[in-house]
Each structure stands twice: as C-alpha cells, then as structure tokens.
Structure 1
Amino acid sequence: MSLPTFEQIRQAPKVLLHDHLDGGLRTETIIELARETGYDKLPSTDPAELDAWFRASADSGSLERYLETFAHTVGVMQTREALVRVAAECAEDLANDGVVYAEVRYAPEQHTERGLSLDEIVQAVNEGFRLGSEGRGIRVGALLTAMRHQARSMEIAELAVRYRDVGVVGFDIAGAEAGYPPTRHIDAFEYLQRENAHFTIHAGEGFGLPSIWQAIQWCGADRLGHGVRIIDDIAVSGEDAKLGRLAAYVRDKRIPLEMCPTSNIQTGAAESIADHPIGLLRRLQFRVTVNTDNRLMSGTTVTKEFAQLVDAFGYDWDDLQWFTVNAMKSAFIPFDDRLALINGVIKPGFAQLKWRA
C-alpha cells in the first residue's frame, strides 16, 4: 500500500486540539480589518508581502519579532464584528482542510482595547464559530486562555465555566514559561477542578521538565500544550529507550501531548521534522496528537503537518488514524460525543481512504 498523499490526507477526517485564533487569520482579512478599524501599524498592506512578512518573522529566530506578529493580529481583533468574522473564517478554513472537530483557543483579555467586555468577546467568537461551522461538517469549541504573565486567570476561569455549555469547552494558560510557572495560577486551577471543568496548560515547550511536572502534579492539567520537552526524561540507546519517572507517569496516565511540529521548530524546541521527538513518542505509545498552533505564522494546516510526518517517518494510514483517534479521545466534549465522532465519522472516513489506496 502506498503512503498517503497530501490530497488524500486533506480528505481525511482530522481533529485539532491546539490552534490559536489570533494565529490563524487570513492576510487579506488582516488588511481589510486594519482599514475598517483604523489600525495603521501593519508592515505592509499588500497581501503577498504581508504573508511573507509573517512567515519570515516566525522563522527569524527572534522571539521579539515573532511576538510582534501577534501584536498585529490582535490589533485588528478589537471589535465585535472583527471577532465574529475571524472566528467564522477560522471554522471555514479548518473545515476546508478536512477537520471535523477543533478546539480553538484565544485570550479574551487581549481583545478589550476598544471597550468590549469579556462576555461580549466570548459571545462574538462563539457566534463566529457557529456561523462558520454551519453545514460544513465541523464542530468547533473554544478554549479560553489566560496569559501567564498577567493576573486575570481566575476571572478567565470563571468565564470559561460560565460559558461551558454554550460554546466554550475548556481553559488554558499561555505565554512565556520561564519565570511564569503555572503554579502562579493555582487558585484558578483549583477552582476549575471544583467545578469539574477541563483545562490544558502550555508546558514543556520553552521550558523543561519542571514546567511539565508543575502542570501535572501541582495544577492537575488534563492535557499538555506541546509537552515536547518530555523527551528530556527519556534516555535513548539505539532502539532501546528508558523512561524517567515523569515520562513514565505521563505515558501511564495517558496524558495527551498537544504537539505542533512546525511551530516547535520555529521556537527552537526541535531542530527539524525528522528530529522531532514525536517520532520517538509515537513509537513509545505516548498519547500524542498533531496540531497547528499558529496556522498563519507557520504557514501550515493539519494536512501539511501530517504530510510532513509521512515524509519524515513513513507513516501510513494506520498511523494517521492513530494520531486522530488520540486527539478525539482527548477532546473536552462529553464521552458520547467523542465516541460518536470516532465511530461514526473518523474510523469510517479512514477506512474508505485506505480502501481507495
């Protein structure tokens, strides 16, 4: 059987757990929203030039330049109309890429510059996801993110619980790991646990094993955003691998790893796709999932991420289905809903593609 092609992968039913709303705008939309809202800081108003600028900035190796890209996307996402449009286009783009379930995250506190309340922001994004999903065979849930260098995590956690039955499926913290451990927000995580709410934590990308350990053992994270540095707790000798206690715990407990290969290379967490820890972690049967992180900055899609893994590791349809089912099992929606998508959409979709191949 031949390996999956790019077009075949695009047709496969896929699941996305780690995608930032402000990292996936269309460049044409950024330019139009800047003009409509009076935002005058874009480096270019030519779509091709702006697109190239985002890619070059993300690949520059400069954290300051990389973060500047988000200043521009967030800068044009300060009105209700802009948020509805961006969220709707996000759902449309993911559906066009064959994604059947997605959890898209954003930080409400970053969209208040023009007077929107946190509730108005959540309502606008929910409306956009609803509009963009209609009739496209995709379900999109929101993850509300608190910035780890700020002090609004409890407020955002309460917001996530308030809207958990109307579009929001969980909570997240993001931002620089070094110097801002997840334990700074322990009150928010304890509140979420008391409310039986789901949450993931960015950990083990820009910082090492202590970040992962705190996210799991102190904060009780359901999933790890990235988690790529768990590789530091695995000693490899030829084909043999010895897991340290933290790595063994993560694997034994089936804690999902939201890995984003292209983004991990841009941030220096991996040297190349071929060298990415995902290859070893998949072989060792960790609960690995494949994600985009920031589709605009990384110039990527879920299809492209999978295609790169096929090229680097020779993955076949069974491997891609394994990653996809992992992701669907790890989603923050009810068990019955997850099972319905796995048995009613994902497995039949892959079976049909494998039969054609």
Structure 2
Amino acid sequence: MSATETQTVTQNEPEAATLRLRPAAQTEDGYKYAHLLPVFDPNEHFPPLVPYDHVDPGARALQHADPRAFIANATRISDITPHLGTEIDGVQLTQLDNDGRDELALLVAQRGLVVFRNQQEFLDRGADWYREWGSYFGRLHVHPTSGHPEGLPELHLVYRDANSTFNFERSERISTTLWHSDVSYELQPPGLTTFFLLSQPTTGGDTLFLSQVAALKRLSPQFVAFLRTLKAVHSGVEQANYSRSGNRGGVVRREPVEHVHPVIRKHPVTGQEALYVNKQFTTRIVGLKIEESETILNFLYQHMAASGDVQARVRWEPNTVVLWDNRVTAHSAQVDYGESKERRHGARITPQAERPIPALDGLDLTL
C-alpha cells in the first residue's frame, strides 16, 4: 500500500433493513432537541473519502500580536490540570470573528482541551450554524456508522436513554472506559473537535481526557526514540462489523478503511510530539511479530489508562461546549448512569485535519 493509498475492506452487505428513523422511545412530545435525534437510513451510502489539503487555522494565530486576545474579556480562566485542559467563562463562541477562531484553534492545540460554559446560544443555533462553525476548522467528517439528525450527516450523535442506546458500547466488558482518538482509521483523522450535550443525566456521563503529549514525555528517551521508528495500522472494520451485527442503528454508510499512521506524530502548529495509538482502532504495529506488537501496544494502552496525572475529567453542566485536539488528546465517555434511565444526547462536529505527521522525519508510511 502506497503512502497515500487507502485500503478499503469490502464486506458483504446484509439484507436491506427497514428504514429506521427516530425510535418511538425518543419521540415523546416536548423534547426541545427532538429535531436532532438520530436517524438511520440503510439506503444512505457515501463514496470513499479522498485526500484534501488542510490548512490549520491555529497557524495564523501565531502571527497575532496577542494570540489570546479572544479571551481578554473572559470572566474566568482556569487550567483544569497542569498538563491538560482550560475552562473558560464569559466568552460566547458564537461571537468569535475569524481572528478569534484562529486563536481558539491555537489554544486548543496548546492545552489539548478547552471547556466553555454557558453556551446556550451555540446549542440553539441549529444545523447551518453547526456546519459553518465546523467547516472553518477543516473539512467536515461524515461518520460511517453513527446516527445523525435527519438531513445533517455531518453531525455525529451519541445517544442513550432508558430504552435504547446508539453508541459503540460493549456490555461484555468490565469497564465502559475505552480510550481512543476519534476515527483514527481515516487517512486524515480529526483535529480540532467540538462536542456538546443537548441532554445530560443528573449525575454521571462525564468524559475523561488524556494528554498524549504528556503521556509520551513520561517514557524514557531511549524508548521514545524506538517508538519514533514505528508505524501502526488503524482499522474501522470492528466498528463497521458492530453496526452490521445490528447494533447502533445497523447501518454502514461507507465501507471501512485501514490506514498506517506513525506511533508518534508531530503537531503541525505547536511541533509537540504525541503518542498516536488507541485501543479502539489500532490493530498492530507494522513490521513486528504478533507478540512483539501486542506487547508494545498493550504496554502503551496500560500506560495511558494508568496515568491519572496526565488526565482530566469534564463534568457536563448544561450548555457546556468542549473542544479538544484529536491529534494530541485521547478521550473516553463514562457510561455510569445507566441505572438512572436518564437521557444522554450529545453531538460532535468533527473537522478533518492533515494526515498524521511522523515525529521521525522520513518515516515510510506504506504498509
């Protein structure tokens, strides 16, 4: 496989299912965001993604006299942890001009995670706003299997209530924690990512975040030097099979793909190096024996999971909007609210970024 070639994994299609729109359990009268509930159309199909030239808005902010001018009037700015995350009050994302958006992109790249409270206007702007907002930061990704609002495939939805779930959940696992970077199997995975909850449980349903930059820095220089020479396969096959088996709405809109990415990538704006493997989508390290690959990957997964000192936890207060940089920050939802039977309805705007840049110059990314 060449450095830019996409490996598409063709699978047999199941018999056509009945068109599934909003499940009956979700359509009760009076829900403010009923128009943003997930739909699943088995006849909806999209062609393979093609490469595109990504220009990171954060790079422009490096030339600004004050790259943090957009938060000059914030009423509160608080770092969540020393290594990851900043929480901001008093800034309305809907009011940012282009310079402000560029500065936002730079701050998210630098801090990995930025949390904005009291963003009711952002949530209520609707479909055209979501598209316009996300498109500023890159080409919008359309998820191959998740639910989306009717007529808005660019908005990835997570949804669970008392009667149904349309998320990637494995009930046979001990824990619901599953660290990952979103759709890392794509040739050009996401960069700056925006997520918000339209409805949240009274307690629980938090999201954990992990600095893959800080996690990398904890490793010995000798080991990091070795990891820089490695590349790994990221695959969307399991995710597609999960849907084809009747879960999550049961649709696959685009055939699953696999791509090779560096184990350590470099951020195009900050120059920071970050681990870029995750348990959900990384399947093997190219060129190593099975046991060698599994040993290294499992060590890295355990290191990430155990490193509470480079993690942050976001509690979803109403009208919160969270942005993170998928290139340097991993995350995991926490499904700890199931017994409450409360709804958790979230939306993700997911612009694609560049193909991961190897930390090691000249690393061959062919399979």
Specify if TM > 0.5: no
How high is the TM-score relative to the length of structure 1?
Answer: 0.30
Q: 1 or 2, which has the higher strand percentage?
A: 2
The alignment's TM-score, normalised by the length of structure 2, stands at 0.29
Instruction: Work out which structure has the larger RCO, using CA pairs closer than 8 Å and 6 or more positions apart in sequence.
Output: 2
Which structure dedicates a bigger proportion of its chain to helix? 1
